[in-house]
């Protein structure tokens, strides 16, 4: 049974699909496709069905990563379906836990930057949507760091 990761941001067109595709890239590099599965979602319904933001896709492409997928909204069933839910920022984290009325799944929800090793003083992945290209590049860099750190921790726990 594969270990299932869900990456969550606000609209599911910038940060979370980038994290999903970066993690899938790293999983493939390590030959772990049969052991770890990834998905992404947004806490809002703003962009349901949309492809990843073209500016985000351009920043990811510079690192050799193709962004795939369509935006969807986080739903209650995701708490059961996934082993670990990774919020991009504290607002996303609170919005996810708000749906956990019974307070059963708090242990499954973490902040993405908790797994960063090269950016120890950054606690949130900033939303680059309204900024310039540098913001998108910074997000890719942070997500590469966080995904590598997460994958290393999963290996320690024998999922890799």
Tell me which residues are annotated as active site.
9, 15, 127
Torsion of CA 31, 22, 83, 51, to 10 degrees: -130
Nearest to residue 150, comparing CAs of 85, 89, 76, 93?
85
Write the CB contacts of 39 (distance below 8 Å, at least 6 apart in sequence): 4, 5, 6, 7, 20, 82
User: Whole-angstrom Cα distance, residue 25 to residue 150?
Assistant: 13
Q: Of 1, 12, 89, whose CA–CA distance to 21 is shortest?
A: 12
Instruction: Give the separation between CA 56 and CA 128, rounded to whole angstroms.
Output: 8
The tokens describing 36, both together, are 């770890």
Copy the structure tokens of residue 22: 């970066």
Give the H or E element holding residue 71: none
């Amino acid at each position: 049974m594969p270990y299932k990761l869900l990456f969550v941001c606000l609209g599911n067109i910038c940060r979370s699909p980038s994290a999903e595709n970066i993690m899938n890239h790293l999983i493939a590099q390590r030959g772990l496709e049969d052991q770890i599965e990834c998905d992404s979602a947004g806490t809002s319904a703003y962009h349901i069905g949309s492809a990843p933001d073209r500016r985000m896709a351009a920043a990811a492409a510079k690192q050799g990563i193709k962004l795939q997928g369509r935006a969807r909204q986080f739903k209650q069933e995701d708490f059961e379906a996934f082993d670990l839910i990774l919020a991009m920022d504290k607002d996303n984290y609170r919005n996810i836990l708000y749906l956990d009325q019974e307070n059963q799944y708090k242990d499954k929800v973490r902040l993405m930057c908790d797994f960063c090793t090269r950016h120890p003083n950054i606690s949130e992945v900033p939303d680059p949507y309204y900024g310039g290209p540098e913001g998108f590049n910074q997000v890719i860099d942070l997500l590469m760091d966080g995904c590598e750190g997460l994958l290393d921790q999963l290996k320690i726990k024998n999922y890799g």
